[in-house]
A and B are shown apart, each in its own frame.
Chain A
């Protein structure tokens, strides 16, 4: 075997293939996106120690990642929030982690998406949070270096988006019917969203123009049970959940930290289903009462409830921009925290 010819051929084929693949994705109009993985989360987790309410820690689901526009927040307060939201994941383990961190004395904005928030301890919806919480303390120097090297590559290469273009993700999109009775997590539209290096998520322009993709994601939510009107947990399970949240909140407050609950907007039919499955009096109001925490429910403010979510559950980028402006103003009014810096006061 001619080793030199083999290695040269391999090198040429790999280079041409990757250039071809990247070019194809760019021609198709896909947006650059960063992997929203354990390393990205760990890099954010390191930054939670600013105690100013102007740089809160965002803990929650994808709603907190879509609906709070980090750049807008930063332009208003002069400081960027720390995005610890995890898609499709119960935020309670992350809240507990911050509560148990003796060095954390900052501000938490906690997203309460009832159908995930009020799931019992140990549910499948906690698994991504557990993975990140296990990963962060063991994030070695080598892994950190790898993360920053990968970041430089992700700045330029669309195909490095693991969620959309990894081999497994592409194979999952093949039209292979699964065995009857097996739940297969549905595929999201491939042009749905992108993630920025700071963890911000947003719908792509292509998705916002594509009504068939919007119907596709709505169908995904239907399959995932977001339209279910089955009453959520109650009795001792609910009491236990609320008590554990209260305990975490008290731990944070005892160190001088703050917590605010936020109920982000959703649109019908998801909003209607949520109201039936999780009546406000039995869940949101009870949570606020028993934890003693300030809460901001989108329903209570015309400026927060005027939006229509393209996928019933998340705001568009333009709406997230105005929503964030109004949210900061409302938080400031309710809590008396000095959020707006002098620059933004002149602008607003």
Chain B
């Protein structure tokens, strides 16, 4: 089930009504759990079993880890959890990819090997819920907290439908405690939650699906080169599309959850105003980047090792982060590019820190003399634009169907191929231009603010009118069946 569907509207209305009836807290949690399984099953019922398996195994492995003092035994139970979750993920998500590359490798070595292409369905949300349960067992192993004694609370934590299929990747310590006490949304939370759902749907339905998906899909599906302006437009369209689609989903998830009385973490913080790639990963898919930091980068040594090792750790983290997104070398390249830019940024920062001590006196003299004081805001904006451009270049690999297409688009973007047809109409380019300008401007102005604070500062009639305009545009756009991009990850 997707948020942008009549089925979900009906489901949510019924669930809200049920959640606000005078049942016991335990009954309400059972209702939420049942609703979450139903939410998932309406996509493909048999795959509930995988979700169930992950839930049951991790609940009991965590219990065993916590009652065992013997180091090897604890490691064994953790290994069971890791093998199950990563095994499921490997099979369903990477099975075909691994076989394809194995076949290629064998054939490259002159060994004739062919295997029938396996027809494996990727269970929706598997990348997300396996990471959620893994963080639980790993944190219990690290003795960060005691395992949850209530199976109901744990099962609800794993399966809670707002975050189940596309995040935010919630940490146990953020969500499980919320299930321990009865919770119901206050009227302010309910209204704000509904506003967030509207905002999320507006981003997804109107902007991502309505205005940006068609030009992006058209150009990226073409087997021939296009005019440089069309290539840039398609990449900017995808850049806007993936942000509005994914951030729209997360915003809906947070809003839906708030209507039920539960708080989910923010997942995006105006990433297209990032100043550098370190800042980008503090603003883009925040719950994934913090998960990778805590369970991959830091265990590898993080920043606590020598400079060369830091760069290696960064690259490993980003390469695996790229691979998490999909079973394709294009995603690995995307992750690798981000890793590379992060490393370059670290090198530059390290070098400038050394230089700045030497020149600080010189600069003070110069500035006092004839050179006007440089605006930090202006230079930050320029750096943010540079970051935005580089992020867009990496999106080419993320979106292109294969490596050759990605290279073709880049050659078109940078004018290496110039004699190529124009494909996008003026209205499409106007929409892309408007959205890109709107996104960059909004992100820059909002980078240190929150939507809630902004709306609190506005008159009620203005907020109400903006809300109405978003709802009307959602109804008029009507692309109600498109699923979210991150469902495929």
Which residues of A are at the interface with B, using a C-beta cutoff of 8 A?
A: 1-11, 13-14, 17-18, 37-39, 140-143, 145-146, 149-150, 153, 159-160, 162, 165-168, 170-172, 174, 176-179, 181-182, 184
Q: Give Cα distance in the complex from A159 to B423, angstroms.
A: 30
Residue in A3, A142, A150 whose beta carbon sits within 8 Å of that of B2 in the complex: A142
Enumerate chain B residues within 8 angstroms of A17, measured Cβ to Cβ: 468, 472
By the criterion CB–CB under 8 Å, are A166 and B476 in contact?
Answer: yes
By the criterion CB–CB under 8 Å, are A166 and B478 in contact?
Answer: yes
By the criterion CB–CB under 8 Å, are B476 and A167 in contact?
Answer: yes
Q: Give Cα distance in the complex from A295 to B477, angstroms.
A: 43
Is B461's CB within 8 Å of the partner chain A?
yes
Enumerate chain A residues within 8 angstroms of B431, measured Cβ to Cβ: 171
By the criterion CB–CB under 8 Å, are B1 and A142 in contact?
Answer: yes
Residue in B210, B426, B468, B480 whose beta carbon sits within 8 Å of that of A146 in the complex: B480
Supply 4 further A-B pairs (C-beta < 8 A) apart from A7-B195, A153-B6: A4-B191, A14-B475, A140-B1, A174-B427
Would you give 9 A-B contacts (Cβ < 8 Å), ordered by A?
A1-B459, A7-B467, A10-B464, A17-B472, A18-B475, A37-B481, A168-B211, A176-B426, A182-B422
By the criterion CB–CB under 8 Å, are B210 and A167 in contact?
Answer: yes
Among B463, B476, B479, the one with the most A-chain Cβ atoms within 10 Å of its Cβ is B476
Min CB gap B38→A, angstroms: 10
Min CB gap B416→A, angstroms: 20
- With A149-B10, A177-B426 in contact, is A5–B421 under 8 Å at CB? no
Min CB gap A275→B, angstroms: 32
Is B458's CB within 8 Å of the partner chain A?
yes
Question: Which residues of B from 122 to 172 have beta carbons under 8 Å from A?
Answer: none
Enumerate chain B residues within 8 angstroms of A18, measured Cβ to Cβ: 472, 475
Residue in B44, B456, B471 whose beta carbon sits within 8 Å of that of A1 in the complex: B456
Min CB gap B312→A, angstroms: 41
Interface residues of B: mostly helix, strand, loop or mixed?
helix
Min CB gap A259→B, angstroms: 29
Q: Give Cα distance in the complex from A141 to B48, angstroms.
A: 14
- With A17-B472, A150-B6 in contact, is A168–B425 under 8 Å at CB? no
Q: Give Cα distance in the complex from A6 to B191, angstroms.
A: 9
Residue in B42, B211, B477 whose beta carbon sits within 8 Å of that of A141 in the complex: B42
Among B188, B424, B427, the one with the most A-chain Cβ atoms within 10 Å of its Cβ is B427
Chain B 195-235 interface mask (CB, 8 Å, partner A; 1/0) = 10000000000100011000000000000000000000000
Enumerate chain B residues within 8 angstroms of A166, measured Cβ to Cβ: 476-479
Is B98's CB within 8 Å of the partner chain A?
no
Closest to B4 in A: A146
- With A13-B468, A18-B472, A181-B421 in contact, is A142–B460 under 8 Å at CB? no
Is B377's CB within 8 Å of the partner chain A?
no
Residue in A1, A160, A165, A174 whose beta carbon sits within 8 Å of that of B460 in the complex: A1
Residue in B2, B194, B460 whose beta carbon sits within 8 Å of that of A5 in the complex: B460
Q: Give Cα distance in the complex from A38 to B479, angstroms.
A: 12
Of all A-B residue pairs in the complex, the 10 with the closest CB atoms, nearest first, are: A9-B464, A13-B468, A142-B42, A10-B467, A6-B464, A149-B6, A142-B1, A3-B191, A2-B460, A167-B476
Min CB gap B35→A, angstroms: 13
Enumerate chain B residues within 8 angstroms of A11, measured Cβ to Cβ: 468
Min CB gap A24→B, angstroms: 13
By the criterion CB–CB under 8 Å, are B42 and A7 in contact?
Answer: no
Q: Give Cα distance in the complex from A172 to B214, angstroms.
A: 13
Closest to A168 in B: B210
Q: Give Cα distance in the complex from A166 to B473, angstroms.
A: 9
Q: Give Cα distance in the complex from A142 to B481, angstroms.
A: 10
Enumerate chain A residues within 8 angstroms of B5, measured Cβ to Cβ: 142-143, 146
Is B403's CB within 8 Å of the partner chain A?
no
By the criterion CB–CB under 8 Å, are B464 and A13 in contact?
Answer: yes
By the criterion CB–CB under 8 Å, are A182 and B425 in contact?
Answer: yes
Q: Give Cα distance in the complex from A14 to B466, angstroms.
A: 11
Q: Give Cα distance in the complex from A148 to B129, angstroms.
A: 30
By the criterion CB–CB under 8 Å, are B422 and A6 in contact?
Answer: no
Question: Which residues of B from 426 to 475 have beta carbons under 8 Å from A?
Answer: 426-427, 429-431, 455-461, 463-465, 467-468, 471-473, 475
Q: Give Cα distance in the complex from A167 to B430, angstroms.
A: 15
Which residues of B are at the interface with A, using a C-beta cutoff of 8 A?
A: 1-2, 5-8, 10, 41-45, 187-188, 191-192, 194-195, 206, 210-211, 421-427, 429-431, 455-461, 463-465, 467-468, 471-473, 475-481
Enumerate chain A residues within 8 angstroms of B471, measured Cβ to Cβ: 10, 14
By the criterion CB–CB under 8 Å, are A168 and B477 in contact?
Answer: yes
Q: Give Cα distance in the complex from A140 to B39, angstroms.
A: 12
Residue in A9, A146, A159 whose beta carbon sits within 8 Å of that of B6 in the complex: A146
Q: Give Cα distance in the complex from A153 to B6, angstroms.
A: 10
Residue in B44, B206, B464, B473 whose beta carbon sits within 8 Å of that of A7 in the complex: B464
By the criterion CB–CB under 8 Å, are A182 and B424 in contact?
Answer: yes
Enumerate chain B residues within 8 angstroms of A9, measured Cβ to Cβ: 460-461, 464-465, 467-468
- With A14-B472, A142-B43 in contact, is A6–B463 under 8 Å at CB? yes
Closest to B45 in A: A141
Among A37, A146, A153, the one with the most B-chain Cβ atoms within 10 Å of its Cβ is A146
By the criterion CB–CB under 8 Å, are B460 and A171 in contact?
Answer: no
By the criterion CB–CB under 8 Å, are A39 and B472 in contact?
Answer: no
- With A3-B187, A142-B2, A149-B10 in contact, is A181–B422 under 8 Å at CB? yes
Q: Give Cα distance in the complex from A9 to B459, angstroms.
A: 12
Min CB gap A204→B, angstroms: 21
Q: Give Cα distance in the complex from A10 to B430, angstroms.
A: 28
Min CB gap A23→B, angstroms: 15
Closest to B424 in A: A182
Closest to A174 in B: B427
Among A3, A5, A38, A172, the one with the most B-chain Cβ atoms within 10 Å of its Cβ is A3
Enumerate chain A residues within 8 angstroms of B427, measured Cβ to Cβ: 171-172, 174, 176, 178
By the criterion CB–CB under 8 Å, are B7 and A182 in contact?
Answer: no
Enumerate chain B residues within 8 angstroms of A3, measured Cβ to Cβ: 187-188, 191-192, 460
Closest to A185 in B: B425
Q: Give Cα distance in the complex from A170 to B478, angstroms.
A: 12
Q: Give Cα distance in the complex from A167 to B191, angstroms.
A: 27
Closest to B458 in A: A1
Enumerate chain A residues within 8 angstroms of B10, measured Cβ to Cβ: 145, 149
Min CB gap A294→B, angstroms: 37
Min CB gap B92→A, angstroms: 16
